[in-house]
Amino acid sequence: MPKFTIQDVLPLPRTPVKIPRIGFGVFQDPPNKPECVSSCLAALRAGYRHIDTAQYYENEEAVGEAVRQSGLKRSDVFVTTKLGEPQGSVEKTLESLRASVERIGLGWVDLFLVHTPVSGSEGRREIWEALEKLKDEGGTKSIGVSNYGVKHLEEIKGYSSTIPAVNQVELHPWLQQSEIVDYCFKEGIVVEAYTPLVRTQKNDDPDVVSIAEAHSVTPAQVLVRWSLQRGFVPLPKSYNPERIKSNADVYKFELSDEEMERLNAKALPGGEGALLSVRSRDTNASEWQPEETSQKAGTSVIL
């Protein structure tokens, strides 16, 4: 097992870009408010060098402001954002992508993703072609997708020679999405794991608790470490500076093969472990339902 550090990066295949192996998510951070700037600054002070935002989150400006306030070199911070919907033409969609780059205000973004596959095959193609143009003009260093199933990934091959650098999907021991993960690894697509902490809903799981106690770490640290050892790029999030720091402090211990197997065995059938609607992973994109429901019901909006 390689000895991970918080400085570790992964090369994005077919690009000169390298992505930090752990990122900081800002979903549900207050839109462009000081609280979002503060949480991002706390992450950057803790050693994170990768922040993941989206148009949908309405906090792109705050992420850019945090990077500027951090005093770090632009080249030392990896920034991701996402576009959810096509705008009716490649040129109009390209304008929306450019607007994100402008709002962030750092000159470029390192990774721009299609946020969801819900717009249908024509909409997905429109966004992808606009992303390719943005990359060509230097607005982004790399492009990829989020919430894509195998069918959606295969579809891109029909109209583009550009293979997504990343697929960002919900991943944790209770939702392992093996078909998608195996496909991405085979195709050389980096897999990012959102909701890796399961929104703390599994912090009292007996196996997670016993593993955490064995290593004198928190349940969240166990889950982040599981994600890293599975070869994913986890995107933990928190508002609390101490938890932000703790979630990235996962390099002084290693999960054994037996502990990994115990966590791997948590996968629930039929996607029952999803916090996002199971229909979001259906191969028919028209059935993807991003509406928000109660967290107690075990679903959430797009991440």
pLDDT tens by residue, 190-238: 999 999 999 999 999 999 999 999 999 999 999 999 999 999 999 999 9
Q: Is there a binding annotation on residue 115?
A: yes
Answer whether 78's CB lies under 8 Å from 49's CB.
yes
Q: What is the C-alpha separation between 293 and 195, in angstroms, rounded? A: 16
Of 55-59, 81-85, 174-178, 297-301, the range with the lowest mean pLDDT is 297-301
Active-site residue 48, yes or no? Answer: no
Name the percent of the chain lying above pLDDT 90.
84
Please, which residues have CB within 8 angstroms of residue 213's CB and are 6 or more apart in sequence? none
CATH class of the domain comprising 9-265 = alpha beta
Of 4-13, 77-86, 106-115, the range with the lowest mean pLDDT is 4-13
Q: What is the C-alpha separation between 16 and 10, in angstroms, rounded? A: 11
Residue 189's closest CA among 236, 130, 133, 149? 149
**Angle, CA of 92, 95 and 96, to the nearest 5°:** 95
Q: What is the C-alpha separation between 226 and 260, in angstroms, rounded? A: 7
| From 57, 148, 183, 194, the catalytic residue | 57
Taking the whole predicted model, whether its pTM rises above 0.85 is answered as yes
How confident is the model over 269-303, as pLDDT tens digits?
988 999 875 343 333 333 333 333 222 223 233 45
- Determine the 3-state secondary structure of 289 from DSSP: coil
DSSP 8-class letter at 231: T
Q: In which band, very low, low, confident or very high, does the pLDDT at 12 lie, cut at 50, 70 and 90? A: very high
In this prediction, residue 301 carries a pLDDT of 36
Q: Where are the domains of the chain?
A: 9-265
